[in-house]
């Protein structure tokens, strides 16, 4: 049975955050890509910026939905220390063995994980730590492997961490990556798919996230005409494409520089190309 949120002001907060995200992207001055040109470069940069900001808004939507349910306490972006013992166990145990372990902080931390959210149900004695990803595409091993390591190590230490924070009744802990769009490519035992989050938490989260996403998309689409107009005007002024006849390039003859000049070039700290040590003497076609 789902618990339903009672705080309807949550939606107003998220909708304002979505409007602000698009406004901030539109007002940002992005570097110009010379290949795309100013108009197309700006359109793509603003759109990409809004996509990145959607990831941040996903976190905010989860926090607001879970807190407003009245069931959970939510820690946003807590820093969880990771011990050498936790890191060491990851490489020598199966996922099944690790699921039975809870470690104490019996040694100094060797690194830390900035966790997106930690969700705590005090009444049930349960808590979960979650990294929230858009999951719009496969993360690839370079990004996925460190994330898997973080999620697994946090799971080992979460109970101890929360007890140090005063949550002495927490006995059951878990950790996962929430893959909102479902394409991040993380292993199933460390993943909660976006379509499953309501069933996982037992409260409605999906409607809040979808409402925020629709509003963000609508705000972006309202900004698109102003971004498109300069691009359309640019297209209208482009001359027709005409084939350019090939021309013979003049052939230049080179001769080496003197030894002193070459020595100076070798000792310079700046990059040099091969033509720096050759001197053009004449152009054959110019004779």
79 SS3 class: strand
**Two tokens at 99?**
């699921």
* Average of per-residue pLDDT values in the chain: 85
Q: Same domain, yes or no, for 81 and 46? A: no
Q: Do 49 and 77 reside in the same domain of the chain?
A: no
Q: Picking from 17-21, 44-48, 98-102, 231-235, which range would have the lowest pLDDT averaged per residue?
A: 98-102
Residue 182: predicted pLDDT:
93
In a domain, 105, yes or no: yes
Report how many domains make up the chain: 3
In a domain, 93, yes or no: yes
Cα 199 to Cα 270: distance, rounded to the nearest angstrom: 60
For residue 249, what pLDDT is reported?
62
Mean pLDDT confidence for 176-193: 93
Looking at the structure, tell me whether residues 87 and 143 fall in a common domain: yes
CA distance 234 to 101: 62
pLDDT at residue 245 greater than cutoff 90: no
Domain assignment of residue 89, given as a range? 72-201
Return all residues near 107 (Cβ < 8 A) that are at least 6 apart. 83, 84, 85
What pLDDT, in 10s, does the model give residues 266-280?
Answer: 666 677 667 766 655
Residue 189 lies in a domain: yes
- 247 is a domain residue: no
Q: H or E stretch including 208?
A: helix 206-237
Q: Which residues, in sequence order, are bridge partners of residue 191?
A: 177
pLDDT at 108: 81
Do residues 58 and 170 both lie within one domain?
A: no
Q: How confident is the model at residue 3 (pLDDT cuts 50, 70, 90)?
A: very low
In our burial notation (b when 16+ CB lie closer than 10 A, e otherwise), range 271-285 reads: eeeeeeeeeeeeeee
Q: How confident is the model at residue 240 (pLDDT cuts 50, 70, 90)?
A: confident
Q: How many residues does the chain have?
A: 287
The half-sphere exposure of 65 on its side-chain side, counting CA atoms within 13 A, is: 23
**CA neighbor of 90 nearest in space, from 141, 146, 170:** 146
Asked if residue 186 and residue 101 are part of one domain, the reply reads yes
Same domain, 78 and 195: yes
Residue tagged 């220390």 (tokens)? 81
Identify the pLDDT of residue 5.
47
Average pLDDT of the segment spanning 126-138: 94
Q: Are residues 98 and 63 located together in one domain of the fold?
A: no
pLDDT of residue 156: 87
Q: Three-state SS for 122? A: coil
Residue 8 lies in a domain: yes
Regarding whether 268 and 197 lie in a shared domain, the answer is no
Q: For residue 185, give both structure tokens.
A: 């490519």
Which residues, at least 6 apart from 110, have a Cβ–Cβ distance to it below 8 Å? 82, 83, 84, 87
Taking only the tens place, the pLDDT of each residue in 91-109 is: 655 566 556 656 676 678 8
Give residue 235's pLDDT band: very low, low, confident or very high (50, 70, 90): confident
């Amino acid at each position: 049975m789902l618990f339903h949120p009672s705080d309807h002001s949550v939606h107003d907060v998220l909708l304002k955050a979505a409007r602000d995200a698009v406004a901030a992207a539109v007002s940002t001055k992005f570097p110009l890509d010379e290949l795309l040109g100013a108009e197309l470069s700006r359109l793509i940069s603003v759109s990409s910026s809004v996509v990145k900001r959607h990831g941040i808004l996903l976190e905010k939507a989860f926090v607001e939905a879970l807190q407003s349910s009245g069931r959970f306490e939510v820690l946003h972006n807590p820093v969880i220390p990771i011990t050498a013992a936790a890191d060491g166990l990851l490489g020598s145990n199966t996922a099944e063995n690790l699921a039975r372990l809870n470690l104490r902080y019996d040694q100094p931390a060797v690194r830390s994980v900035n966790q997106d959210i930690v969700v705590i149900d005090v009444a049930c004695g349960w808590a979960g730590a979650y990294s929230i990803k858009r999951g719009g595409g496969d993360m690839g091993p370079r990004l996925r492997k460190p994330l898997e390591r973080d999620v697994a190590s946090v799971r080992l230490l979460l109970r101890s961490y929360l007890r140090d924070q005063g949550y002495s009744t927490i006995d059951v802990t878990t950790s996962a990556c929430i893959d909102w769009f479902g394409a991040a490519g993380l292993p199933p035992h460390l993943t909660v798919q976006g379509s499953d989050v309501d069933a996982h938490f037992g409260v409605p989260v999906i409607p809040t996230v979808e409402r925020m996403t629709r509003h963000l998309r609508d705000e972006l689409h309202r900004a698109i005409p102003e971004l498109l107009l300069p691009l359309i005007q640019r297209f209208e002024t482009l001359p027709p494409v005409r084939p350019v006849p090939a021309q013979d390039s003049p052939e230049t003859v080179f001769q080496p520089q003197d030894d002193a000049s070459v020595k100076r070039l070798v000792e310079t700290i700046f990059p040099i190309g091969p033509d720096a040590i050759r001197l053009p003497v004449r152009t054959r076609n110019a004779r």
